Amino acid sequence: MKVNNIEQFEKVAVAARKALENQEKRVFVCCGTGCVAAGSFGIYEELKRLVAEKGLLVDVVLEAEEKGIGIKKSGCQGLCQLGPLVRVEPFDYQYFRVDKQDCVEIIEKTLLQNQPVERLMYQSGSRVCHTPVEIPFYSEQTRLVLGQCGQIDCENIMEYIAKGGYTAAGKALLQMTPEQICDEISKSNLRGRGGGGYPAGRKWSQVLAQNSEVKYVVCNGDEGDPGAFMDGSVMDGNPHSVLEGMIIAGYACKASEGYIYVRAEYPLSVARLQLAVEQAREIGLLGENILGSGFSFDIKINKGAGAFVCGESSALTQSIEGERGMPRVKPPRTVEQGLWGKPTMLNNVETFANVPHIILKGAQWYRSIGPENSPGTKAFAITGNVNNTGLIEVPMGTLLKEVIFDIGGGINDGKKFKAVQIGGPSGGCLTETHMELPLDFDSLKKVGAMIGSGGLVVMDEDTCMVEVARFFMNFTQKESCGKCVPCREGTKRMLEILEGIVAGKGSLEDLDMLEELADTISSTALCGLGKTAPSPVISTLKYFRDEYLAHVVQKKCPTRNCKSLSSFVINEALCKGCSKCAKACPATAITGKVKEAFVINNRKCIKCGACVEACPFSAVEEV
């Protein structure tokens, strides 16, 4: 049914809610990227098949008027490392590491007998946690943008509408002026979640003020940071929240066309966004005269080729135009001359997904969450050497220690925390001294870091921080568009120096050169990619200079990660002369006589470690 006015829309919403109520039990199979890779599509199909075999009504499209069981594909349910995940309502039972073979038991015990399958549930010591609120990973979060990820069918617009979706768009289009919307967003102090933290309301007002008949709204879904998957999960799990935010933004700045720029490496996001756009058009929430408001707006999906630099606004708009994505000199800014030279309002996925909440609940409500200068919540992807890896959302200002140790569950294998890289290649490292640091835009800026898009890579005591700096510089150097000399040549030279250091060829002068190059690049590079490229190097030099000194002075890697700086020796007191190490050595670097201690020739040794694994007496030692 296509709705032409708010009255028709409200009738559709009532029908959607009634249909949802008819689903007395609902099974949500996590079909976020991580769980899909672990086989969740197969679980979804198996559950549908088995429920139908039982003679029960399977309702997957929210249209049945009879009472039945809903089998649904949901977005990311958060605790990715324990996937595939399945959640069953109304009990709110949360199952982990579900396999196709578990489907029979879930149906027999939970759907037919209303009982939990405890072996599939999270265990905290001897306690079995039946629901997410019993699990610290979930209970310590405040899920706003991710609130419906995992709780609605991510491929069904009616479920979004049944849960209040597009109500904010109706309010904005029919009860507010563009100026009032911009004012409300400004009062909320919503800041761009793409990393820069620029006030969204100010940007919207700037586009509204432009005297142009043609304007554009662009959503930046080009999430390229290593270890970051927040925007992708929102696009996968609740695409209509992004569309609704863009509709409101289009009305607020008087634009009639929007683009979502999403990298092609996110095929699930692309597919679900395209489906969401088609569904919104079909029902009349995109296109001409939306809800009888007189406002027309449509959205197109644009796939990027995976260039990290296309996360920068001017490079992104050039890419949409079919040109090579390269930043340009500013001014003019994107709000003045963006896509096809027209005023363009550009925000990222998470920013748009916040907008419907602000329009419905008001700026003051939004400002009640988090600190005054950085209100609201922030989604993070927490990965690395931490017990609970996955997708989280917390109020801005949450302490770093709360994220890593309460939600993340601390460092795995009982090791010590060493550092966390926040903000990806453009961010910096935080250490144990920063445990009490609030995670918000201003607090992080003071210590030389940034939220970025929200990637948190946790590192333990065995991590070499020099290698971390080399890894991120290698990424940045490869992703440089090459347009400006500081970034093109400077990052290349910094990478060469870091590679020399981890190879045992570094010097004290190299450390001075790294700092000098970093200062030059950050001061003179054309765009944000270049200006922040040295950040991982600067932060690791600042907080882990002793590791750099060990590499260049002692020619040792304290964590023994840099193989060029390590060597192997055989402890004569432990060696039994069995010759297993010599037989395992691919470089024939180990010699000796049976029943006598063997010796390693480190000139020939390729440091593969095969001898360590082969020795049954632990006689081979790395020094």
Contact 87, 98 (CB under 8 A): no
For residue 558, cis peptide bond before it (omega within 30 degrees of 0): no
Cα–Cα distance between 256 and 241 in angstroms, integer?
Answer: 18
Asked if 543 and 613 sit in the same domain, the reply is no
**Residue 117's pLDDT is what?**
97
What is the average pLDDT across 435-464?
A: 91
Residue 296 in any domain: the answer is yes
Residue 41 in any domain: the answer is yes
**Residue 19's pLDDT is what?**
87
The CATH number of the domain holding residue 382 is 3.10.20.600
In which domain, by residue range, is 228 found? 164-367
The count of structural domains within the chain is: 5
What HEC string does 441-479 produce? HHHHHHCCCCCCCCEEEEEECCCCHHHHHHHHHHHHHHH
Residue 143 in any domain: the answer is no
What is the average pLDDT across 197-202?
A: 94
Residue 260 in any domain: the answer is yes
Residue type, 588: T
**Residue 426's pLDDT is what?**
84
Cα–Cα distance between 535 and 530 in angstroms, integer?
Answer: 10
Residue 561 in any domain: the answer is no
Query: Would you place residue 66 in the very low, low, confident or very high pLDDT band (cuts 50, 70, 90)?
Result: low
Which residues have a Cβ under 8 Å from the Cβ of 390 and sit 6 or more positions away? Answer: 34, 76, 78, 79, 80, 81, 137, 381, 382
pLDDT tens for residues 277-333?
999 999 999 999 999 999 999 999 999 888 888 888 999 999 999 999 899 888 899
Residue in 75, 20, 73 with CA at minimum distance from that of residue 45: 73
Chosen domain end from 324, 344, 367: 367
What is the average pLDDT across 410-433?
A: 92
Asked if 361 and 321 sit in the same domain, the reply is yes
The CATH number of the domain holding residue 484 is 1.20.1440.230
Least confident of 41-50, 56-65, 507-516, 598-607: 56-65
Residue 109 in any domain: the answer is yes
What is the average pLDDT across 240-264?
A: 96
Cα–Cα distance between 225 and 193 in angstroms, integer?
Answer: 14
Residue with tokens 């918000």: 440
Compute how many other C-beta atoms are within 10 angstroms of the C-beta atom of residue 165: 23
pLDDT at 437 over 90: yes
The CATH number of the domain holding residue 607 is 3.30.70.20
Compute how many other C-beta atoms are within 10 angstroms of the C-beta atom of residue 416: 10
Cα–Cα distance between 90 and 430 in angstroms, integer?
Answer: 41
SS3 assignment, position 411: strand
pLDDT tens for residues 343-396?
999 999 999 999 999 999 999 999 999 999 999 999 999 999 999 999 999 999
User: CA 366 from chain center: how many Å?
Assistant: 22
β-partners of residue 58 are 69
**Mean pLDDT of all residues belonging to the chain:** 93
Angle at 609 between CA 603 and CA 615, to 5 degrees: 110
Asked if 212 and 305 sit in the same domain, the reply is yes
Chosen domain end from 367, 396, 417: 367
pLDDT tens for residues 121-132?
999 888 999 999
Which residues have a Cβ under 8 Å from the Cβ of 124 and sit 6 or more positions away? Answer: 134, 135, 136
pLDDT at 60 over 70: no
Asked if 257 and 319 sit in the same domain, the reply is yes
Contact 228, 274 (CB under 8 A): no
Residue 390 falls in which region: left (phi positive, over 0), alpha (psi -120 to 50) or beta: left
Compute how many other C-beta atoms are within 10 angstroms of the C-beta atom of residue 54: 12
Cα–Cα distance between 260 and 248 in angstroms, integer?
Answer: 15
What is the average pLDDT across 93-101?
A: 97
Asked if 488 and 449 sit in the same domain, the reply is no
Helix 349-361 and helix 230-237: axis angle, to 10°? Answer: 60
pLDDT at 64 over 70: no
What is the average pLDDT across 134-143?
A: 94
**Residue 622's pLDDT is what?**
84
What is the bridge-based pairing of β-strands 377-384 and 344-348? unpaired
**Residue 603's pLDDT is what?**
86
pLDDT tens for residues 556-598?
999 989 988 888 999 999 999 999 999 999 999 999 999 999 9
Asked if 106 and 46 sit in the same domain, the reply is yes
Share of the chain above pLDDT 70, in %: 98
Residue in 317, 263, 309 with CA at minimum distance from that of residue 478: 309
Asked if 452 and 488 sit in the same domain, the reply is no
Q: What is the DSSP letter of 418?
A: E
**Residue 278's pLDDT is what?**
97
Residue 50 in any domain: the answer is yes
Chosen domain end from 438, 460, 482: 460
Asked if 484 and 427 sit in the same domain, the reply is no
**Residue 61's pLDDT is what?**
56
Asked if 426 and 516 sit in the same domain, the reply is no
Residue 157 in any domain: the answer is no
Cα–Cα distance between 9 and 247 in angstroms, integer?
Answer: 16
Q: pTM for this one?
A: 0.91
Q: What is the DSSP string of 17-28?
A: HHHHHHEEEEEE
Residue in 432, 429, 427, 441 with CA at minimum distance from that of residue 405: 432
Which residues have a Cβ under 8 Å from the Cβ of 428 and sit 6 or more positions away? Answer: 421, 422, 447, 448, 449, 450, 535, 536, 538, 539
SS3 assignment, position 618: coil
SS3 assignment, position 157: helix
The CATH number of the domain holding residue 289 is 3.40.50.11540
Cα–Cα distance between 226 and 465 in angstroms, integer?
Answer: 16
pLDDT tens for residues 220-243?
998 878 878 889 999 999 999 999
Asked if 427 and 477 sit in the same domain, the reply is no
Asked if 182 and 312 sit in the same domain, the reply is yes
Asked if 504 and 612 sit in the same domain, the reply is no
Query: Would you place residue 69 in the very low, low, confident or very high pLDDT band (cuts 50, 70, 90)?
Result: confident
